[in-house]
C-alpha cells in the first residue's frame, strides 16, 4: 500500500518527474561518454608512446636526465636486468644505447636519434617489427639499420641503400659507421618518423666506442596503474648513487601536462554535470515537499509514524533519480562498449592536427570499469544526499502547522 | 467512566513579543457515546483545545488524560501511535491522500494498523456504504464533492476503531444540503454504534443536533449544557 502511494506520487506530476529523471539521465550520459573518450583517447596516446618507445619506466646512470650524453652511460649489469625481470607487473626489460648522430646518404644530411637495440627484446616490447612498411627486421648482431619513413624520404634512400652515421662517441671519440638499410619504419608520430634510426646494440657500441655500455634500460609494465609502485620498488633495489629511475611522465613531460590539463577541464565539466543532477533533484524535491506539506501533516496527524513517512518519500525520490541514473547507464554503456572495440578513426584536417602533435588520429572509448563505477557511486551519493532533505523536513514536521499553513 | 479528562488546561502561543492565551484553564471530561459540540466565536480557542485533546499540540500547562493515560508522557512516535489506535480525526479540509481512491484512503489507516488485507477491504467497503458512498468507492478525492470528501473522512476516522472522533469544523466548507447529510450520518453512527463524536462548529444547525454543547470564549468554558 505504501509502495502504491509512492508509485502514484511519482506519476502525480508526470512532466516534472520526466524532466527530473531526464536531467539525471543526460548528466550521467554525457559524463560517462566524455570520460570514456578522454580516458580512452589519452590512454591510447600514452600506451602508444609508452609501449612504442619510452616504456613506463627507464633506468639510467645518475645524471643522465640532465645531460643525455654517452658519457652518462653505464656498464651493462646482467644481474640488475635479471632482478628487474623478476619484479611483479614487469613485462619487458629492454636495454638500449642511445645517442645522436648525423645521418647522411651522400646528398642529404639530417640529425637523427640512434638507438642501439637488442633486436629480439626490443621487438617483444615495442613491436618494432610491426612498424616496418618495407624491408626486414634486424637480426641479432645485425650490421644494418632500420629508419623512420620520413627520415628515409628526406635522405632519399630505400632498402639496401647505405646510411652513414657520424657522431661523437664515448669520451668524445669520433664515431662513424656505414649501415645498409634493412627496413623502413612508420610510427604514428611524425616526430619519431623523421628522427629515428635503429641499429643493433653491438653495432652501436662499436660505433660509439662504448664497449659493454648502456644509456638506459626501459621497463614496460602490464599497466600504467602500477607505474608509481614499481618505480618505488626499483628505487629500493638499485643503488641511487649510481642510477636514476624516471617514469614516462618525467620522460615526456609535455604529454603528462597535456593529459593533466585535459583531465582538469573534464573534471570541471563533470562537476557542472553533477551540479545539474544535484540541483535538479533538489529543486524537484523542494517543490514536491511544498506541494505535499498538508498531506504530510495529515498523515502524521492521523497516526503515520514520521520515520515511515520519511522512508516512503525517500524511496520515491531515490527511485526517481535512480531511474535517470540507470537509464543513463543503460544507454551509454553499449555505446561505450561498442566504440571501445571499434575506435573512430579521424580523417581530414583534424587527423592532420592530431598527427602533427604526435598523436594517432583516433578517438578511443575506454571501457575501464574504474571511472564507470566511480561515476555511478558519485551520482548515487548525490541522489541519496538530495533525498535526505525531505527526510529531515519530515522528521521535524509539526503536523498542526503543516496542515494550517 | 470518562474517556477524556482535561485538567486546568492552558495554551499560550508566543509569537515574537506577543503572547496569545488561546486556552486558559479548561477542565472538561467526556464520556463514551457523547455527541458533543464545542462552540464559540472565531479565535475563542476551539481548534487549539481539540488539537491538544487529539495530541497534536502540547498544552503549556495542565493535563490531558485519555483512557487513563496522561498523554503528555507520550513522546514522538509513541504519541503518533497512540493517535493511530485511540483517536479518529476529521479536519475542516484536506482530509484525504490525493493519490488514493476513497476506498484506499479508508484502507490506508487500517494498513498503518497492520490489519489483514481482507478485513481492511471489507471494513472500508462497509464504512463507505454506511456514509452513503457505496457507488463512489473507487473515485479519487479530486473527483468527489466537498461533502463526499468529508464523508470519506468520517469513514476513515471510524476505520481505525478509535475510542472517539474529533472533528474540527467538519462542515465549515459544506453547503447546507451536505451539512445536513454529514450530520445525519454522524448522528446515526453515534446512536446505533455508540461512536463518540466531539466536534467544533460555528453553525447553529449543527449545534442544534448536539446532545451536549460546550461554549467557550476567550479560551475559557462559558457554559456546558446537556440536552
Ligand atoms: N500556532 C499559533 N500561533 C500563534 N497563535 C495562534 C496559533 N494558533 C492559534 N493561535 C491563536 O490562538 C487563538 C485561538 O485560536 P483557535 O484557532 O484555537 O481559535 P478557533 O476558536 O478555532 O477559531 P476559528 O473559529 O476561527 O477556527 C487565536 O487568537 C489565534 O490567533
Ligand atoms: Mg478553528
Which of B97, B114, B164, B166 should be substituted to probe chain A, the one whose Cβ sees the most A Cβ atoms within 10 Å? B97
Protein residue with its CA nearest to atom 18 in ligand 1? B45
> Best substitution site from B41, B45, B51 to test ligand 1's pocket, by max atoms within 8 Å of Cβ?
B45
Which of A302, A311, A313 should be substituted to probe chain B, the one whose Cβ sees the most B Cβ atoms within 10 Å? A302
Q: Do B109 and A302 touch (CB under 8 A)?
A: yes
CA of B149 to the centre of ligand 1 (A): 25
Provide the grid cell at A254. 609535455
Q: What is the mean pLDDT of each run of 10 residues along chain B (227 residues)?
A: 92 88 94 94 93 94 94 91 94 91 95 94 93 93 93 92 93 88 90 92 88 94 91
Q: At residue A113, what are phi and psi to the nearest 5 degrees?
A: -110, 115
Complex prediction ipTM: 0.93
Q: What is the mean pLDDT of each run of 10 residues along chain A (405 residues)?
A: 85 87 90 89 82 89 88 89 90 93 90 94 90 93 93 93 92 90 87 90 92 93 90 90 92 86 88 88 89 92 94 89 91 91 85 73 84 90 92 92 80
Our answer on whether the CB atom of B53 is closer than 6 Å to any ligand 1 atom is no
> What digits encode the pLDDT tens for the residues B83-119?
999 999 999 888 899 999 999 999 999 999 999 999 9
Q: Would an 8 Å CB–CB cutoff place A401 in contact with chain B?
A: no
Q: From residue B31, how far is each of B27, B156, B163 by CA, in Å?
A: 14, 22, 10
Our answer on whether the CB atom of B15 is closer than 6 Å to any ligand 1 atom is yes
> What digits encode the pLDDT tens for the residues B124-137?
999 999 889 999 99
Residue where the block lists cell 636514476: A244
Q: Would an 8 Å CB–CB cutoff place A12 in contact with chain B?
A: yes
Residue where the block lists cell 650524453: A69
Nearest CA to A117 among A95, A139, A99? Answer: A95
CB atoms closer than 10 angstroms to residue A105: 18
CB burial of residue A93 (10 Å; 0-12, 13-18, 19+): buried
Question: Measured between CB atoms, which of A9, A298, A308 is closest to B95?
Answer: A298
Our answer on whether the CB atom of B51 is closer than 6 Å to any ligand 1 atom is no
Q: Do B83 and A8 touch (CB under 8 A)?
A: no
What is the distance between the alpha carbons of residues A158 and A181, in angstroms, rounded to a whole number?
A: 7
pLDDT value for A7: 87
For residue A300, the distance in angstroms to the closest alpha carbon of chain B comes to: 7
pLDDT value for A358: 64
pLDDT value for B94: 87
What is the distance between the alpha carbons of residues A188 and A45, in angstroms, rounded to a whole number?
A: 10
Q: From residue A194, how far is each of A48, A49, A135, A137, A360 by CA, in Å?
A: 17, 15, 18, 18, 16
**3-state class of B33 per DSSP?**
coil
Q: Would an 8 Å CB–CB cutoff place B108 in contact with chain A?
A: yes
CATH class of B2-226: alpha beta
- Domain chopping of chain B, boundaries: 2-226
Amino acid at each position: 500500500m505504501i509502495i502504491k502511494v509512492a508509485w502514484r506520487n511519482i506519476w502525480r506530476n508526470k512532466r516534472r518527474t520526466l524532466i527530473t529523471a531526464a536531467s539525471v539521465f543526460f548528466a550521467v550520459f554525457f559524463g560517462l561518454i566524455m570520460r570514456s573518450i578522454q580516458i580512452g583517447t589519452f590512454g591510447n596516446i600514452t600506451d602508444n608512446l609508452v609501449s612504442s618507445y619510452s616504456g613506463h619506466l627507464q633506468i639510467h646512470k645518475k645524471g643522465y636526465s640532465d645531460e643525455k650524453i654517452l658519457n652518462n652511460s653505464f656498464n651493462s649489469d646482467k644481474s640488475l636486468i635479471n632482478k628487474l625481470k623478476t619484479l611483479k607487473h614487469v613485462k619487458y626489460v629492454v636495454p638500449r644505447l642511445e645517442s645522436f648522430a648525423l645521418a647522411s646518404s651522400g646528398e642529404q644530411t639530417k640529425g637523427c636519434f640512434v638507438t642501439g637495440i637488442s633486436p629480439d627484446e626490443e621487438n617483444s616490447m615495442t613491436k618494432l617489427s610491426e612498424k616496418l612498411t618495407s624491408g626486414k627486421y634486424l637480426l641479432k648482431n645485425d650490421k644494418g639499420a632500420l629508419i623512420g619513413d620520413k627520415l628515409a624520404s628526406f635522405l632519399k634512400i630505400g632498402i639496401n641503400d647505405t646510411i652513414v652515421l657520424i657522431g661523437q662517441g664515448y669520451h668524445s671519440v669520433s664515431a662513424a659507421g656505414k649501415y645498409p638499410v634493412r627496413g623502413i619504419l612508420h610510427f604514428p608520430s611524425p616526430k619519431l618518423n623523421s628522427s629515428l634510426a635503429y641499429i643493433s646494440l653491438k653495432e652501436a657500441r662499436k660505433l660509439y666506442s662504448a664497449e659493454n655500455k648502456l644509456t638506459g634500460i626501459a621497463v614496460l609494465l602490464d599497466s600504467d596503474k602500477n607505474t608509481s609502485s614499481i618505480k618505488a620498488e626499483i628505487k629500493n633495489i638499485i643503488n641511487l648513487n649510481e642510477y636514476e629511475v624516471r617514469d614516462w611522465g618525467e620522460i615526456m613531460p609535455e604529454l603528462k601536462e597535456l593529459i593533466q590539463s585535459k583531465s582538469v577541464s573534464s573534471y570541471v565539466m563533470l562537476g557542472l554535470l553533477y551540479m545539474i543532477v544535484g540541483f535538479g533533484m533538489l529543486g524537484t524535491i523542494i517543490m514536491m515537499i511544498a506541494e505535499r506539506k498538508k498531506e504530510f501533516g495529515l498523515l502524521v496527524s492521523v497516526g503515520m509514524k514520521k520515520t515511515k513517512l520519511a522512508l516512503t518519500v525517500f524511496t520515491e525520490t531515490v527511485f526517481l533519480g535512480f531511474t535517470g541514473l540507470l537509464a543513463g547507464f543503460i544507454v551509454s554503456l553499449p555505446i561505450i562498449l561498442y566504440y571501445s572495440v571499434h575506435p573512430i578513426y579521424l580523417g581530414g584536417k583534424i587527423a592532420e592536427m592530431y598527427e602533427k602533435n604526435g598523436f594517432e588520429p583516433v578517438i578511443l572509448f575506454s571501457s575501464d570499469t574504474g571511472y564507470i563505477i566511480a561515476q555511478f557511486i558519485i551520482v548515487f551519493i548525490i541522489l541519496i544526499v538530495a533525498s535526505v532533505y525531505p527526510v529531515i523536513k519530515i522528521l521535524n514536521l509539526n503536523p498542526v502547522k503543516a496542515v494550517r499553513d | 467512566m470518562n474517556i477524556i479528562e482535561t485538567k486546568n488546561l492552558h495554551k499560550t502561543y508566543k509569537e515574537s513579543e506577543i503572547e496569545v492565551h488561546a486556552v486558559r484553564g479548561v477542565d472538561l471530561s467526556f464520556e463514551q457515546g457523547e455527541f458533543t459540540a464545542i462552540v464559540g466565536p472565531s479565535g475563542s480557542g476551539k481548534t487549539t483545545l481539540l488539537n491538544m485533546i487529539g495530541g497534536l499540540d502540547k498544552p503549556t500547562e495542565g493535563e490531558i488524560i485519555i483512557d487513563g493515560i496522561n498523554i503528555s508522557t507520550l513522546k514522538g512516535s509513541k504519541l503518533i501511535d497512540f493517535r493511530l489506535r485511540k483517536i479518529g480525526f476529521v479536519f475542516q479540509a484536506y482530509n484525504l491522500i490525493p493519490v488514493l481512491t476513497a476506498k484506499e484512503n479508508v484502507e490506508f489507516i487500517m494498513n498503518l494498523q497492520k490489519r489483514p488485507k481482507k478485513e481492511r477491504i471489507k471494513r472500508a467497503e462497509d464504512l463507505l456504504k454506511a456514509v452513503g458512498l457505496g457507488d463512489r468507492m473507487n473515485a479519487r478525492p479530486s473527483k468527489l464533492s466537498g461533502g463526499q470528501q468529508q464523508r470519506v473522512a468520517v469513514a476513515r476516522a471510524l476505520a481505525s476503531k478509535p475510542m472517539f472522533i474529533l472533528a474540527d469544523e467538519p462542515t465549515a466548507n459544506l453547503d447546507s444540503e451536505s451539512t445536513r447529510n454529514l450530520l445525519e450520518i454522524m448522528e446515526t453512527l453515534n446512536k446505533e454504534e455508540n461512536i463518540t463524536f466531539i466536534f467544533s462548529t460555528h453553525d447553529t444547525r449543527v449545534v442544534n443536533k448536539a446532545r451536549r454543547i460546550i461554549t467557550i470564549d476567550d479560551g475559557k468554558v462559558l457554559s456546558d449544557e446537556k440536552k
